[in-house]
Amino acid sequence: MNSSAAGFPQCAGKVHIDRARSEVMLSRLKHERMIGMVKIRSRISRGLLTAALAGAVCFQGHAQTITLPGYFVELVVGGLTFPTQHCFVGPGEILVGEKNSGIVKRIVNGAIVGNALDLAVANNSERGLLGIVAHPNVSTNGYVYIFYSKADVDGGTWIDNRVERFTYNGQTLAFDSLIFSIPFDASQQNGPYHDGGMLAFGPDGKLYVTSGDLNRGRFGNPRIEQNTGSSSSAGTGAIYRLNDDGSVPADNPFAWHGDPRVQKICVYGVRNSYGIAFDSITSSLWFTENGPDKFDEINLATLGMNSGWLKIMGPDDREATYAENNFTAYDAEDLIMLQGAVYRDPKFSYYHPNGITDLAFANSIKYDPTVRGNLFVGDVNSSWLYYFVMNQSRDEFVLSGALADKVADDLNERALTAVGSDWGMIVDIGMGPDGYLYTVSFSSGKIHRIRPALDETAPTTIMLVRGNFVSGSLPDVHFSDDLRYVGSRGITFSTQDPPLQIQFEANAVTATTNELQFHLEASVSSVNLQQTIELFNWSTGLYETVDVRSATVSDATVDVAVTANAARFIRAGDALMRAKVSYKAVGPVSVGQWQARIDRATWHVRVQ
């Protein structure tokens, strides 16, 4: 295993991060190096198990930090032994694989409640139980997929790397079928390094499988996937795209190829990857790739992409040379381009490999608009957490100054992308069903989640108390996106009774807090309309007026903050919150059947 080969890697942002934060991150890493916590170069040839054991020792006593203002880290569960990937199979219910034992632990509401499965795994170096993912319809079909290195007994001789499908019954996993296999091949290298192993389902319903090159496809034994030959397949070194039963999708980029192994490929030219994520906003596939002694990469994939290995790592124009490419600078024109293939430079690279691993987008209402939609990335060499701001089209990062060339050339530049330290060996980051990002630390045996101090909660119900429904639905009020819930005035029997009243309900994450906020973005279709916001006081059983103002014909934002006895607006037990927004005329109106348009209505509850 070399210093950045994150399939399994070694011990283990906002890009426009201020200088003070950068200096703090740099100071931390220099301190870690002095005490031997991060020894990147000395680990170039070390295997995973040795590095992992060392990593577990060196990181046990450190609490992770996050420097994004308004966010904190919360422990979900500890006591795991070399955990790898995790998946949710229900609210508060997690399955997580353990690399060396082949055990899948079952976690319910933050407690380990048992073993769902125990597989016999080859576990030397980077082999083991490496990936697990639930089918998008797991609640109905029970399917869970596992990537592991098969053996007859734990620690036994490697048979193959495979993906199997299991059926989950609520407590245990039962074998269903073999989905994918990379078998022993006497004509090629068979690892034990560069196994990959991460699994993901895409928005297209397809299963994506990452696999490193297993040290195959060198110039002496040329192969397609490593860009060293045009006729023979290595059978690995790619991201594979499969139907959920393991068959080849008809629209795969190389479905035309005569070799079934190539037909399954989505991206090739991959040295090793332990990070894969889909942007739920664009449906685009992003992945990380680990270089030898130069260049770790963050990539935006396309179907049929050639990522460049073994001839190219990092941006093509950097002309990287290393032992595997015979210290020769190659260009994209030198790659083995299958029909329909396309080469792409990475969207960002680290010149000195830091063992970057998994990545995930904060695409959730729980994250404030300045963070929402941006990308978090883990690593194992420095135990840092990285953060990238997306551009408007979501196909590049917002980079400037020393990072404008899309490369962190040294430790100082790497620190500019970091927003956290002492995370241990992060091997998995993913969005939970509760809207928080979850991280798995291989070295500490813990799962954490990243939470905002002010927790945002969207309405779960919307009801027209008075007035007429015009258009819209509940999801339309969750985000400021110009999708609106619209109502018009109704009949009233009193001049004091607003003819349009809209009620919202939501459940807070806690019933005890010292601060509650209600956020409203709305507009009306006429002048001389008054807008009133009321919150339901569960102590008195009555609505309490918290804001009254003139409504506007263009979207206006109102933030109501309650800091005195805020818990009166949250019901004990189920933490239910209720708000009502009302409109009435206070002068001549320009439209008889006037309307109110709600663009966004949410609560914030302080949890820290």
Assign residue 464 the CATH number of its domain.
2.60.120.200
Question: Do residues 350 and 466 share a domain?
Answer: no
Same domain, 320 and 225: yes
The residue whose two tokens read 């209505």 is 601
The Cα diameter of the chain in Å comes to 89
Same domain, 401 and 369: yes
Could you tell me if 413 and 560 lie in one domain? no
Q: How far is the CA of 34 from the CAs of 29, 31, 59, 149, in angstroms?
A: 9, 5, 14, 36
Is the per-residue pLDDT at 590 higher than 80? yes
Closest among 379, 186, 344, 172 to 268, alpha carbons compared: 344
Last residue of a domain, one of 452, 472, 490: 452
Query: Is the residue at 590 inside a domain?
Result: yes
The CATH number assigned to the domain holding 431 equals: 2.120.10.30
Six-digit token pair at 311?
Answer: 């001839």
Question: In the block, which residue shows the tokens 């007429």?
Answer: 468
User: For 235-292, how does the pLDDT look when each residue is reduced to its tens digit (9 = 90+)?
Assistant: 999 999 999 999 999 999 999 999 999 999 999 999 999 999 999 999 999 999 999 9
- Report whether pLDDT(71) > 90: yes
Q: What pLDDT, on the 0 to 100 scale, is given for residue 565?
A: 96
Asked whether residue 39 is assigned to any structural domain, the reply reads: yes
| 8 A C-beta contact, residue 599 and residue 482 | yes
Q: What is the pLDDT of residue 62?
A: 62
Q: In this predicted model, what pLDDT tens digit does every residue of 554-570 receive, in sequence order?
A: 999 999 999 999 999 99
More confident residue, 180 or 35: 180
Q: Give the bridge partners for 129, in sequence order.
A: 148
**pLDDT at residue 31 in the model:** 41
pLDDT, tens only, 77-115: 999 999 999 999 999 999 999 999 999 999 999 999 999
Rounded CA gap, 602 and 168, in Å? Answer: 36
395, 420, 452 - which closes a domain = 452
Question: What is the tally of structural domains in the chain?
Answer: 2
Rounded Cα gap, residues 312 and 379, in angstroms:
22
Once rounded to an integer, what is the mean pLDDT over residues 122-135?
98
- Are 527 and 438 part of one and the same domain? no
- 290 and 394 share one domain: yes
pLDDT at 22 over 60: no
**Are 399 and 535 within one domain?**
no
**Among candidates 80, 76, 173, which has minimal Cα distance to 132?**
173
CA distances from 58 to 10, 28, 321, 426, 517 (A): 12, 14, 32, 14, 42
Reply yes or no on whether the pLDDT at 527 is more than 60.
Answer: yes
Statement to judge: residues 65 and 176 lie in one domain: yes
Could you tell me which residues come within 8 angstroms of residue 387 by beta carbon, excluding any fewer than 6 positions away?
13, 14, 15, 68, 374, 375, 376, 377, 417, 418, 419
Of 47-61, 257-271, 325-339, least confident by mean pLDDT is 47-61
Give the closest residue to 98 by CA, choosing from 433, 427, 438. Answer: 427
Choose the final residue of a domain: 411, 430, 452: 452
Give a yes or no: residue 8 inside a domain: no
* Predicted local distance difference test score (pLDDT) of residue 391: 98
* Full-model pTM: 0.90
Q: What is the pLDDT of residue 25?
A: 53
Cα-trace Rg, the chain: 27
Q: Which domain holds residue 535?
A: 456-606
3-state secondary structure of 295: coil
- Please check whether residues 226 and 94 belong to one and the same domain: yes
pLDDT value of residue 14 = 30
Nearest to 554 by CA among 601, 492, 599, 496: 599
Same domain, 416 and 463: no
User: Omega into 242 within 30° of 0, i.e. cis?
Assistant: no
- Chain mean pLDDT for the chain: 91
pLDDT at 165 over 70: yes
Note whether residue 6 is domain-resident. no
Residue 397 DSSP symbol = B
Mean pLDDT of 183-189: 97
**Judging by DSSP bridges, how do beta strands 199-201 and 468-471 pair with one another?**
unpaired
CA distances from 437 to 146, 376, 440, 445, 568 (A): 21, 9, 10, 17, 30
Instruction: DSSP letter for 369, please.
Output: T
400-412 per-position pLDDT tens digit: 999 999 999 999 9
**Is 181 a residue whose pLDDT tops 60?**
yes
Residues 432 and 569 in one domain: no
pLDDT tens column, 355-386: 999 999 999 999 999 999 999 999 999 999 99
Q: Is residue 418's pLDDT more than 50?
A: yes
Q: Please tell me whether residues 410 and 549 are part of one structural domain.
A: no
Helical segments of 320-391, H only: none
Q: What is the pLDDT of residues 211-228, one digit of tens each?
A: 999 999 999 999 999 999
The residue-averaged pLDDT of 542-558 equals 97
Q: What confidence score (pLDDT) does residue 330 get? A: 98
In a domain, residue 4? The reply is: no
Q: What is the pLDDT of residue 54?
A: 38
How high is the pLDDT of residue 482?
83
Rounded Cα–Cα distance for residues 11 and 409 (Å): 21
Within-domain flag for 383? yes
